[in-house]
Amino acid sequence: MTRRVLICQAMLLVGFLAKAQSPDVSNNSTLTIPQIMQGDRFVGFLPSNISWSEDGETIYFSWNPEMDTIRSLYKTDRNGSEPVPVSTEEQKMLRNGNGGYSADRTYKVYSDNGDLFLLNRTTAEEIQLTNTSDRESGPLFAREDQVIVYRSGNDLFSWNRQTGATEQLTNVQSDGPRRSRPDPEYQQWLQEQQMDLFEVLRWREAQSEARSAQREALQPERPSPVYLGGKRLWGMEASDDLRYVTMMMAKSADAKNTRVPNYVTESGYIEDLRSRAKVGSPQTTYEMGIFDRELDTFYRIDPAQLPGIYDKPAYLEEYHTGSEDYVDTFKQAREVTYASPIFNGEGEAILILRSQDNKDRWITLLDPETGELTTLDHQRDDAWIAGPGIGWSFASGTAGWLPDNRTIYYQSEASGFSHLYTVDTETGNKTQLTSGDFEIQSAALSNDGSTFYITASAEGPHEHHFYHLPVGGGELTRITTMPGNHEVDMSPDEEYLAIRYSYSNKPWELYVMPNEAGAEAVRVTESTTDDFNAYDWRDPEIIRFTARDGAEVPARLYRPENPRPNGPAVIFVHGAGYLQNVHRWWSSYYREYMFHNLLVDNGYTVLDIDYRASAGYGRDWRTGIYRHMGGKDLDDQVDGAKYLAEDYDIDPDRIGIYGGSYGGFITLMALFTEPGTFAAGAALRSVTDWAHYNHGYTSNILNTPTMDSIAFARSSPINFADGLDDRLLILHGMIDTNVQFQDVVRLAQRLIELEKDNWEFAVFPVERHGFIEPTSWSDEYKRIFKLFQETLK
């Protein structure tokens, strides 16, 4: 039997099983679940990956208006002319590598496919500097643009633009020279006797030592080796004068990684997918050193000099209540992570460090000559450090030098919202440039250093706009005006903006406009399909309801035009925790948005809540779940259900809940700990036990299982499974390497042992955390719709 026949038979069998198992329920909408779950094939392929040509005349973007098999590269100009495909020949000429600009921005140096290129942006002349099998990367100008510094392997090199000479700046080696074992004592005695007795041996030894000294004297000068000692080189940065090179090194931890079995493979055999370690596993540690090329010395930065580095997290005191022996400091300094130093043109550098437990961030001034750190700003958060523009463990976030090479700028949540600050490195004086109950999403300094270009939620938390701000502070000048969200890419000359814009019920499209207030934005693309455009998509109302603790909770409300009294409702719980879904732009949960329109067509009211932990509302909202996931975030769902019943005449016995990932976790906690509040729930790709999730995300919020067992115990649904009384549908991809399939398998066994019988389990063999196949999406949401139709109608 041929392979083609076997495939056809297999497809027929899969189709039969899908038909036999697929839910069959009535639908009063013109939309169908298989239709809306086609994703881009139904909505349209929206423009993405927007970039400018170096001359600022052409905008490139990924698009697929013809519904081809894959996306293609398109282009338009700064006037917003009709977009056209970019030919293969032109694409071959495009360079997309990272690099740096000369001070006057006439030249750009960058790497592409492991080679270096130098572009004259005025004449468009390009020179290929390297063509090697080695990989050159990270090129930057240095020494007042006279040389180009780049990395190859574990070392930095410089290329002199005038002489064409290449110089090796560092000599990083894995391990030090091998030390020979000393001979046994009796052999040493014999050797000494030989040398005492025979002049010829003494003469030959003297000749050998003289030749070695002669060879060494004739060797060209090279940097002294820096030995990693079994560590990995994580990053390198050079000062502008090339005297100092900082090196970050990582020592890998002996952590046990998980493996995820993949059952549907090309080989026909089960294959393991290598995945992450679990929270609380040993962590990689880091250190940073400085190589002084002038003195040919290497020394390490000592983080013990940081203020507060010995301080214990506040939660530990709870485990020592009443103990007179408890001290609030550690005997050893906590481990830290380092962002790449940011050098100015005078040999000074900003160095941003974080404690590895993510309770502290230090913005410091590094003296590379001594390795001493002067703390310019110390942010301590007993929950965890985060927020827009603040970066993560190895990223500096928004930070840099102003043109005076004396003042630095950065973002901080010190006021409760992420705002822009400056600090004078000589006096230590800080200035807050922006303020208010909104967040600076991003900030970048203009080419001339006079203006900050800012994306912020200054008009309210549900819209993002682009602004100008004088570098010394003052009023924000709003540039964009359309209600919604604006993802801005600026032309290299900063004269024009390429904008990816969307509204609540209008998907992302490409616009172009001059970079000035009052200018008109010209629409470039028309991406949505005829089928998508045929439906009148709702613009959900943004409301706020009062939670039990008095907080005003934002939500999006979808209502039928003529809702019947005591009607049904569904609450949707977005994923990630720290994510915003109550806004006036096209949602990343666009399939769910379309599903909510279908639900409303069938008489449901839908409430989509930005619960505690969501992004967009400042530090206190972000950290509202610290040490208790399933606390205030769950209260917001329960209070939302009460709000629907009291204010919108919803039958409290006919409310359902669903969500994926963090939303699936909340769904489980709702059904397990608040029985009777929700008649049914669908939990997609759900965390069931936080002790089995990853370290980076979980340890920020719950610390670690061995250090904060209370937090894990009260936050993990598996511990409360005995409370299940209402209908539960569990859905999960079997090759999910994020929230792993093991999570729901363990929960299923727990429910079996508890003799619960009001739950169902649907698995998707070829899906990871984010589903890909439209058939999987469709099957998943048909089951969810059937659950609600059977329990809420």
235 phi-psi bin (left φ>0, alpha ψ -120 to 50, beta other): beta
329 DSSP assignment: B
Residue 323 has pLDDT above 80, yes or no: yes
Assigned token pair, 308: 């507060």
Residue 8 has pLDDT above 70, yes or no: no
DSSP code string of 402-458: -TTSSEEEEEE-TTSS-EEEEEETTT--EEE---SSS-EEEEEE-TTSSEEEEEE-T
pLDDT more than 70, % of the chain: 97
Q: Identify the H or E element spanning 702.
A: helix 695-702
pLDDT per residue as tens digits for the range 722-780: 999 999 999 999 999 999 999 999 999 999 999 999 999 999 999 999 999 999 999 99
- For residue 787, CA distances in Å to 30, 558, 606, 724, 792 come to 20, 19, 15, 16, 8
CA dist 397 and 390 (Å) reads 5
The confidence score (pLDDT) of residue 178 equals 73
The confidence score (pLDDT) of residue 324 equals 87
Q: Identify the H or E element spanning 88.
A: helix 88-93
Q: Identify the H or E element spanning 291.
A: strand 285-292
pLDDT per residue as tens digits for the range 514-566: 999 999 999 999 999 999 999 999 999 999 999 999 999 999 999 999 999 99
DSSP E strands in 318-393: the ranges are 336-338, 342-343, 349-355, 360-367, 372-380
CA dist 354 and 290 (Å) reads 19
Alpha-helical regions (H) of 126-228? 185-197, 199-218
State the chain's mean pLDDT as an integer.
94
pLDDT per residue as tens digits for the range 575-623: 999 999 999 999 999 999 999 999 999 999 999 999 999 999 999 999 9
pLDDT per residue as tens digits for the range 672-700: 999 999 999 999 999 999 999 999 999 99
The confidence score (pLDDT) of residue 132 equals 95
pTM for the whole structure: 0.93
The confidence score (pLDDT) of residue 218 equals 87
**Contact call for residues 478 and 517 (beta carbons, < 8 A):** yes
Reported as half-sphere exposure (CB side, CA atoms, 13 A), residue 666 has a value of: 29
- Amino acid in the structure at residue 637: Q
First to last CA, the chain: 50
Assigned token pair, 428: 């230590």
pLDDT per residue as tens digits for the range 325-383: 999 999 999 999 999 999 998 989 999 999 999 999 999 999 999 999 999 999 999 99
Q: 531: which residues sit within 8 A by CB, 6+ positions away?
A: 35, 42
The percent helix, strand, coil of the chain (3-state, each to 5) is 25, 30, 45
Q: What is the largest CA-CA distance in the chain?
A: 114
Give me the mean pLDDT over the 232-249 stretch: 96
**Contact call for residues 596 and 544 (beta carbons, < 8 A):** no
Q: 515: which residues sit within 8 A by CB, 6+ positions away?
A: 479, 490, 491, 494, 495, 496, 497
Q: 484: which residues sit within 8 A by CB, 6+ positions away?
A: 463, 501, 502, 503, 504, 506, 584, 585
**Contact call for residues 306 and 375 (beta carbons, < 8 A):** yes
pLDDT per residue as tens digits for the range 127-140: 999 999 999 999 99
pLDDT per residue as tens digits for the range 162-179: 999 999 999 999 887 777
The confidence score (pLDDT) of residue 180 equals 78
CA dist 422 and 5 (Å) reads 69
Q: 552: which residues sit within 8 A by CB, 6+ positions away?
A: 544, 545, 546
Give me the mean pLDDT over the 20-30 stretch: 66
Assigned token pair, 41: 């094939």
The confidence score (pLDDT) of residue 181 equals 84
232 DSSP assignment: E
774-792 and 590-601 helices cross at what angle (nearest 10)?
40
CA dist 455 and 676 (Å) reads 43
Assigned token pair, 783: 């089951």
Residue that is written with structure tokens 């069959």 in the block: 24
- For residue 233, CA distances in Å to 101, 223, 388, 464 come to 26, 17, 28, 39
The confidence score (pLDDT) of residue 95 equals 75
The confidence score (pLDDT) of residue 56 equals 94
CA dist 588 and 573 (Å) reads 13
CA dist 247 and 229 (Å) reads 13
**Contact call for residues 226 and 172 (beta carbons, < 8 A):** yes
**Buried b / exposed e across 318-331, counting CB within 10 Å, b at 16+?**
eeeeeeeeeeeeee
- Amino acid in the structure at residue 547: A
242 DSSP assignment: S
pLDDT per residue as tens digits for the range 456-511: 999 999 999 999 999 999 999 999 999 999 999 999 999 999 999 999 999 999 99
pLDDT more than 90, % of the chain: 90
Give me the mean pLDDT over the 232-245 stretch: 96
Q: Which residues face 486 on adjacent strands? A: 501
Q: Is 183 strand, coil or helix?
A: coil
